[in-house]
Structure 1
Amino acid sequence: METTVYLGKVQSFAQGRWHTPAGEGRPVFHAVTGEPIAEISSEGLDFKGMLDYARTVGGPKLRQMTFHERARMLKALALYLNEHRAELYELSRATGATKQDAWLDIDGGIGTFFVYASKGRRELPDERFLLEGEPERISRGGTFLGHHLLVPLEGVAIHINAFNFPCWGMLEKLAPTFLAGMPAIVKPASVTAYVAERVVRLMLESGILPEGALQLICGGVGDLFDHLTGQDVVTFTGSAETGLRLKSHPTILRETVRFNMEADSLNFSMLGPDVTPDLPEFELFINEVVREMTIKTGQRCTAIRRTLVPADRVDAVLEALTRRLREVVVGDPANEQVQMGPLVSRDQVAEVQARLEELAAAGEIVCGRDGFSVIDADPERGAFFPPTLLYCARPFEHTAPHEVEAFGPVNTVMPYRDLDEAIRLARMGRGSLVGSMVTADPDVARTVVFGTAPYHGRLLILNRECAKENTGHGSPLPHLVHGGPGRAGGGEEMGGIRGLYRYMQRTAIQGSPDMLTAIGNQWMPGASRPEADVHPFRKYFDELRIGETYTTARRTVTEADIVNFAGVSGDFFYAHMDELAARESEVFQGRVAHGYFVLSAAAGLFVDPRPGPVLANYGLENLRFTKPVRPGDTIQARLTVKQKIPREAREGERPGGVVRWHVDVTNQDDELVATYDILTLVARRPESEA
C-alpha cells in the first residue's frame, strides 16, 4: 500500500521569490490512498506584478541571448532535470502514475528540451532574430527587395496546463517559448500541481535560467487576464468548455491576444479492411488499442476513444480486446506488477462514470461492467476505474460516441461496411488531435489519409514494417505538430521550429539589397560585393566579412573536358556525348557539358588548394542550372560570403564556424549558368596569433 506523505501548501513562484498562500487552500488527495496530500491556493499573488516582472526583467534578459545561447540553456536544464528524475518518479506515484506513465511524463518532457536544444543549434542562426525563407525581388531592376523577419514578442507567455501531464505538458510549451526568447508564467492544474511545482523548483535551483524567465501560479489565475496585452500569448490545454470561456475573455478579444487551445478530442483508431485476424497487423491493432486505453489510465488527450472496425471482424476484435483488457493488472503503481493505476482523483471517477452512462445509452458495455480487483489498494478510497469497452452497433444513428468523452480508460468499438463509412465515422468527431489506422495496403492508407486529414492534426499509419520503431498513436513528438481543428481546439504546439513562431512576430521588411544585408547580417542578391583583398580561403572565420567576394580566373570548356568527365563519372547521357541527338533535342539544341562538371570546374577556379583556415566542405544547397554550357564557352565564378554561423566546438575540436558562400557561375557573355550556396567549416584564429 502506498504511504501518503503530506506535502503541505504548494507554493507559487512570483516576482523572484517563493510565495506561500495565506489561509486554507483547496485540498488535493492522493490518487491511490485517497488521503489529503497537499493544499493549493494562489491567494495573495500580485498577478499584474508578475506580468510586469516578466516583461521588464525576464523578457529583456532572454532577448539579449541568441538562439544558440538559449539552445545551450535548454540543454543544460535538460541535463539538470535528468539528474533528478528519481525524485520526480517517486512524487508522480501520488498522481496514480505507473513507472511507464511517469516515463512518458518526465522523460518525455526532458526529451522535448533536448530536441529543441538540438534543433536550435542546428537549424537556427546564432542571432537574436530569424530571417524566414528567401528574399523577394519586388522591383524589375533588383534595387528593392522584401524579406520576412521574425523577432520575439515583448510580452509574456501564459501556459495553462492540464492535470494529466504535469511535467511534459509544461516542458513541451516552455521549450519553444524559451528558445524563441519569451518569459513564461505557468499555471498547472491544481490536482497535480505539486509535481509541476517540484519541476519548476529544480529548474530555478539550477541557476541556469535568467532572472524573471519563469514564474509559477499554483491555484487560480485571479485577475491575470485583465492585464494582458497584444504582446502576450496564452496557451491552454484542457476541456473545450474551459478553453472557450478563457478564449472569450474581454481582454483577450479587445487586445487580440494570441490564444492557442489544445482540447481533449474523440480520437479514432481504424482497423483496415485488408487486415484479417491471421495477419501481424491484427495483433498490432489490438496491442495499440489496449495500450492507449490503459496508459495514464486513459487520461490522455490523444487516447483512442473510438475504434472503427470492419463489420465482419467486430466479433474477433471484441473478443481479443476483452481478453486483453481483463488481464490488465490494476492497483498501486508502487507494485511493479501493476499495469494501470488509478484516475487522478475521486472527482474524476465520478466524472468518467457520468460520461460512461451517456455512452452506454448508445450501445452496450462489453468489458468493465463487472467488479474488478485492485492490487495493494482500497478501491473505495483510491480513484480506481476498470478498463471499459463499449460496442455501438449503429454508430450513424447515435451521436453520443462522437460527442461524449469519458476521460479515462473508456473506448467504444463501432462497425463500418466500407471505407466511405469508415471515413465518415472518423470525421464525425468534428476535429481530433490524432487518428490512426492499421493497414498493410497503401491504397487503403492513401484513401483514409486524404479522407480524414482535414479533420485531424496528426495521422499514424501502422503496419509490420514500422511496428518496432513506431512511437504509438498517442505520443506527440516535438518534431511534429500537436493540435487539431474543430473540437480539438484549432491550435498547434511544437512541430519543430514551427513551434517558435507562436511566440514571435513576423514582420515584412522592404528596402535596398545593401540595407537588408545590413539588417539581416546576411548577403542579399543585388547587394554590394567588395572584392577580397586576399583569397577568402586564406582568412579565418573571424576575419571574413559579409558580402566579401572573390572573382576567379576564367576557363574555357572543351570537348575533351566533357569526354574525360564522362569517363570519370560514368555519365554518358546523350546530351553530353551524342552531338546529333543533342542537336535534335528541343531542350538542349546541341551538345552540352555535364552540370556537375560545371560545378567541379567552378570549384577548381575558386578553391585555394593550400592548407589553411578552411577545414572541410560542409555541403551544397539551392543549386540551379540556369543556362547550358557548351564546348567553347568560357566560365567564371564569383564566390561571396553570404552568412557566418558560429559553431560550438566539441571537446578536442578546433574552434570555428560554418560559412555559407554564394556562388554565381557565368559564361563569356556574363550570363548566369549556375547558382548555388556552399557551406564550409572555417577555423577561428588561434589565440596565440590573435
Structure 2
Amino acid sequence: MSTKLHNYLQGAWVPHDGEGIPQFDAIDGTLISTCGSEGLDYSATLHYARKVGGPALRKMSFQERGRMLKALALFLNEQKEKYYTLSYRSGATRADSWIDIDGGIGTLFAYASLRRKLPDTRWYLDGEAAKLSKEGSFIGHHLMVPKHGVAIHINAFNFPIWGMLEKLSANLLAGMPAVVKPSEVTSYLSEIMVRDIIASSILPEGALQLVCGSGVGILDDLCEQDVVTFTGSAATGQQLRALPSIIQHSVPFNMEADSLNAIVLGPDVEPGSVDFDLFLKEIRREMTAKTGQKCTAIRRIFVPEDRIEAVQNALSKMLAQTTLGDPRTEGVRMGALVSKPQQQEVRQQVEKLLQHSSLAFGNLDQFEVLGADKTKGAFFAPILLRNDQPSKYTNTHQIEAFGPVSTLMPYRNLAEAIELVNLGKGSLVSTIATADPRFAQEYVMEAAPYHGRILILNEASAKESTGHGSPMPLLSHGGPGRAGGGEELGGLRGIKHYLQRTAIQGHPSMLGQITEVYQVGGAQPEATIHPFRKYFEDLQIGETLSTHKHTVTESDIINFANLTGDHFYAHVDETALEGTPFERRVAHGYWILSKAAGMFVEPRKGPVLLNYGLEECRFTKPVYPGMTIGVRLTVKEKIAQEQRDENDVPKGIVKWLVEVFDQTNETVAIATILTMVRKVEELRS
C-alpha cells in the first residue's frame, strides 16, 4: 500500500497535492499514509457522475442492478482478509472489524436480495392506483424513477467500510451514482476497498468516485437532482445542512448523527436473573466494541433506584475483565481509539461529565496495556460514571464522550424513566431489558417519538438477537432530533431516498402501457390461444382469457365443506344466518377461488411450470346457489428471473389478475396469482 492515498475521480486515480493529512497507526503512532483533496475539481467530478455514471446505471433494471450488487458482494467477500489486516491499525479488534467489514459486505448481500421485491424494469410503482373518475377512465398512480444527479456520501471515521457500503447498497440499487467522502482519519481503509471495486469492473464507469481528503468544497456545486447523506457529529451535520447549495436547490440531506443512546432495566428484572445478566452483557459489549466508537453505543444506563448498587458492582466486575492493548496480541479484547486527537477529545468530555457525576469504575490514567506502548497509542480504558440526580444534573443528557464511556443513573418509576431517556432529545436506539409486556408497551408508546429504533431485550429473544448496537439492512437506521432526523437502510425505504416519486394520471390503458403493469379498467384484448400455452416472452400485458361459466349448486358447497373440513355455519347451516350479512347458504370464498382456478387453468403440459403463490385476494360479494360465475384471467405483470446456474431453467414470474364475476357482470372475487413460466430462449439456445 502506498503511503500516499489517491482519489478516484473521472475514471482515474489521482494523487493528492502537497504534504497532505497524515494518518497514524492507533496502536503505535507510526505513519500509515497521507491523504488530501486540495485542488480537486469537484464540479467536474459531479458532472462526470451525472453524465457518465447515472445514464449507465439507469439503463439497467432493478433486477440487473440487484445482480450487480450480488456480484460485488461475492467479489469483496473473497478479498476481505486484506481489509482485516489493515483494520488492526485503526485500533479495531478482529470482532470490531467484523462489524465494519463483514457487516458492510453483508449489507450489500441484503440489498442485492431486495431485487426479488422489485420489478424487472427501470421504474417502480409505489402503492396502488387511485380511481379519479366515476367511470374509471381516468386514474392516477405514483411512479418512482432514479434521480438524475449524484449521491454524495460523507462518512464518519468509525466505520470506513460499513459506512460506505451501507449507503452505496441503496443508491446503486436505486440507479444513482455516488461520490464517497470517507473521514480523512481512516480513509486508507476505504481506499483499499474502492481500489478493488474499480479493478473488478463490476460497476459501470462513473458509478463510484472517491475523495480521501477533507473534501472542503465538495458540496458547492450541487443541483436539484443530487442527494447528500452525512454521518458524523451533529454540529458538523448542522453546518453542512445549512449550506446555501443545499437550501437553494432543495437538495435532500440525510443526516445520521451520534446520539446519547440509553438502556433501561425494567423493574421486573431481579439481580441474578437471566435477564439481569443479559442487561449487563449488553452494556459491556456496547461500551467496549469498537472501543465505544459507535454512533449506537450505550451512553446512558437507567435502573430502578433500589438496584443501582447491584448494577454498579456487577458491571464493574465485568468491565474489570476487559483486556486492553494491541488487537493482534492474544487475549486482547479491546483496542485503541482511532487517534491521539480522539483520545484527547474523549478525555475532555469525560472531565466535563465528572463535574456532576462521580467515577464508578475506571481510571483515566492508571490502566494496563498488553502488547503495546501506552504512551504511543490512543488507548482509553472503560469508564463508568454515576449520576445520582439525573433530573437535576442534565449535562449527562447533553454531553457525549465518544469512547468506552457510559453513565449509570437511577429512576423511581416508569414515567420518570421515560422522561429521563427522552432528555437525550432524539436518539438512534434505546434498549429496555424486560419481560413485562405492559411496561414495554408503555415505554415504546412514549419513547418511540424520540427514537429511531427500540430493542426489547429478554431471554426469549436473546439467543438470536443482533443486539442494541446493530443496525439491520431491512430496518431503518436513524433517529429524530439530535440523532439527525434522517433514515438510512430500512429495506426498500432506503432506495426510495434516491428515487423521485411522481404522480402520473391518464387512462388505465395508457398508464398500463407506460408502467408495464395492467391497470384495472384498461384494455383487455382477448387471448387467441390460452395464455398458459405461451412462453414468458410472448405474453402481453393486458391480454385476457374469458372462461366458460358455471352455475353454483348446493352440492358444490357441501362437497367443498366435506373435502376441506370447513364447516363454518354460513356455509352449512341455513338456520343460523339471522343477524348475519347472508340471505342464505353462501359459497366458501376459497371454493370460489379454487373453482376459478379450475376454470382458467390449461391442463396440458406447457410453458407454465408451477403456481408460485398468491399476493392478494378479496371476496367482494356473496355467492349463493343458483348464481352463475365466470372468470377473466389477465396478464398483470412480468418479472424475469435470473438463472442460478447453467442447469437452471430460464424462466420468469407472471402475475395474473383473476376477476370472478357473476351473471350481472359484478365482481364477486378478485385476486393476484403468480406462476413460474418458461422462457422461449431455452428452446432457441
TM range (shorter): over 0.9
Letter in 2 for 1:32: I
Q: 1:292 aligns with which of 286, 289, 310?
A: 286
1:110 and 1:531 mapped to 2: Cα distance? 48
Cα distance in 1 for partners of 2:331, 2:67 equals 39
Aligned to 1:629: 623
Amino acid corresponding to residue 261 of structure 2 in structure 1: N
Q: What letter matches 1:259 in structure 2?
A: F
Paired residue secondary structure (1:542): helix
Name the CA distance, whole Å, in 1 between partners of 2:266 and 2:162: 32
Distance 1:88 1:293 in 2: 24
Q: Decide which of 320, 324, 329 is 1:326's aligned counterpart.
A: 320
Structure 1 stretch displaced more, 237-246 or 19-28: 19-28
Contact preservation (8 Å) 1:621, 1:677? yes
> What SS does the aligned partner of 2:275 have?
helix
Mapped pair 1:136 → 2:135 = no
In the TM superposition, what is the alpha-carbon distance from 1:35 to its structure 2 partner? 1.6
Q: Supply the AA of the counterpart residue of 1:247.
A: R
Whole-Å separation in 2 of the counterparts to 1:587 and 1:52: 64
Match 1:213 to one of 201, 207, 230: 207
Q: Distance in 1 between matches of 2:549 and 2:684?
A: 35
1:519 corresponds to: 514
Looking at structure 1, the residues matched to 615 and 208 of structure 2 have their Cα atoms a distance apart, in angstroms, of: 39
Decide whether the 8 Å contact of 2:649 with 2:682 is kept in 1. Answer: no
- Listed as ranges, the gaps of 5+ residues in structure 1 are 1-5
The aligned residue for residue 273 of structure 2 is 279
CA contact (8 A) 1:47 1:222 kept: no
2:24 to 15, 24, 29: 29
Partners in 1 of 2:205 and 2:23 — Cα distance? 30
- Tell me how far apart the structure 2 counterparts of residues 164 and 686 of structure 1 sit (CA, whole Å): 49
- What's the CA shift for 1:689? 5.3
Measure the CA separation in 2 of the matches of 1:593 and 1:48: 67
Separation of aligned partners in 2, 1:16 and 1:540: 42
Structure 1 runs (4+) deviating above 6 angstroms are: none
Is 1:96 the equivalent of 2:85?
no
1:552 aligns with 2:547: yes
The residue that corresponds to 2:46 in the other structure is 51
Distance 1:225 1:689 in 2: 51
What's the offset of the Cα at 1:688? 3.7
Q: Does 2:227 align with 1:260? A: no
Contact 1:132 1:149 in 2 (8 A): yes
- The yes-or-no answer on 1:641 pairing with 2:635 is yes
Alignment correspondent of 2:468: 473
Question: Is the 2:183–2:214 Cα contact (8 Å) retained in structure 1?
Answer: no
Matching of residues 188-203 of structure 1 within 5 Å: 188-203=182-197
Residue of structure 1 in register with 2:309 after alignment: 315
How far is 1:602 from its partner? Answer: 0.8
**Conserved? CA contact 2:152–2:180, under 8 Å:** yes
In the alignment, structure 1 residue 667 sits paired with structure 2 residue 662: yes
Of residues 554, 571, 578, the one that matches 2:573 is: 578
Residues 333-482 of structure 1 mapped to structure 2, 5 A cutoff: 333-369=327-363, 371-482=366-477
Give, as a single letter, the amino acid of the residue that structure 1 aligns with 2:208: L
The Cα shift of 1:363 comes to: 1.2
**Letter paired with 1:179:** L
Amino-acid identity (%): 57
2:460 partner SS? coil
Corresponding residue of 2:150? 156
1:187 maps to amino acid: K
SS at match of 2:98: helix
> Which residue of structure 2 lines up, in the alignment, with residue 3 of structure 1?
none
Is it true that 1:606 corresponds to 2:608 in the alignment? no
CA distance in structure 1 between the partners assigned to 2:360 and 2:2 by the alignment: 40
Secondary structure at the residue paired with 2:253?
strand
Counterpart residue number, 1:65: 60
The residue type paired with residue 406 of structure 1 is A
Q: Distance in 2 between matches of 1:383 and 1:138?
A: 64
1:656 matched to which residue of 2? 651
Gaps in structure 2 of 5+ consecutive residues: none
Residue 687 of structure 1: CA displacement?
4.3
Residue 78 of structure 1 corresponds to 73
Residue 173 of structure 1 corresponds to: 167
Q: CA 1:371–1:248 in 2, change beyond 3 Å: closer, same or farther? A: same
Q: Is the 8 A contact 1:646 1:658 kept in 2?
A: yes
Residues 658-688 of structure 1: per-residue CA shift (max 9 Å, x gap): 0000011011111110001000001112544
Deviation sequence 1:502-555 (CA, Å, 0-9, x none) = 111000000000110011011000000000001111111111100000000011
Question: What one-letter code is carried by the residue in structure 1 that aligns with 2:105?
Answer: I
Give the whole-Å Cα distance in 2 for the aligned partners of 1:437 and 1:449: 9
2:113 maps to what in 1?
118
Shift of 1:46: 1.2
Say which SS state the counterpart of residue 471 (structure 1) adopts.
Answer: coil
Give me the TM-score of the superposition, normalised by structure 2: 0.99
* Correspondence 1:491-530 to 2 at 5 A: 491-530=486-525
Amino acid at match of 1:88: Y
Counterparts of 1:124 and 1:621 in 2: how far apart (Å)? 14
Q: In the aligned structure 2, how far is the partner of 1:8 from the partner of 1:572? A: 77
Cα distance, 1:480 vs structure 2: 0.4
Matches within 5 A, 1:11-30: 11-30=6-25
Q: Quick one: which amino acid aligns to residue 563 of structure 2?
A: V
Aligned residue in 2 for 1:236: 230
The size of the alignment, in residue pairs, is 683
C-alpha distance in 2, partners of 1:316/1:309?
Answer: 10
Whole-Å separation in 1 of the counterparts to 2:684 and 2:340: 70
Distance in 1 of aligned mates of 2:122 and 2:29: 49
- Separation in 1, partners of 2:576, 2:256: 60
| Structure-1 separation of matches of 2:432 and 2:264 | 4
Give the letter aligned to residue 245 of structure 1: Q
Q: Structure 2 vs 1, CA of residues 78 and 689 (structure 1 numbering), >3 Å: closer, same or farther?
A: closer
- Secondary structure in structure 2 of the residue aligned to 1:641: strand
Equivalents in 1 of 2:194, 2:499: separation in Å?
24
- The offset of 1:585, in angstroms, is 3.1
SS class of match (2:463): coil
Whole-Å separation in 1 of the counterparts to 2:22 and 2:537: 60
Write out per-residue CA displacement over residues 271-297 of structure 1, whole angstroms, 9 at most, x where no aligned residue.
111000132000000000000000000
In 2, the alpha carbon distance for the partners of 1:643 and 1:131 equals: 11
**Other structure's SS at 2:503 match:** strand
In 1, the alpha carbon distance for the partners of 2:139 and 2:554 equals 41
In 2, the alpha carbon distance for the partners of 1:78 and 1:310 equals: 45
Letter of the 1:340 counterpart: M
Aligned-pair Cα RMSD in Å = 1.0
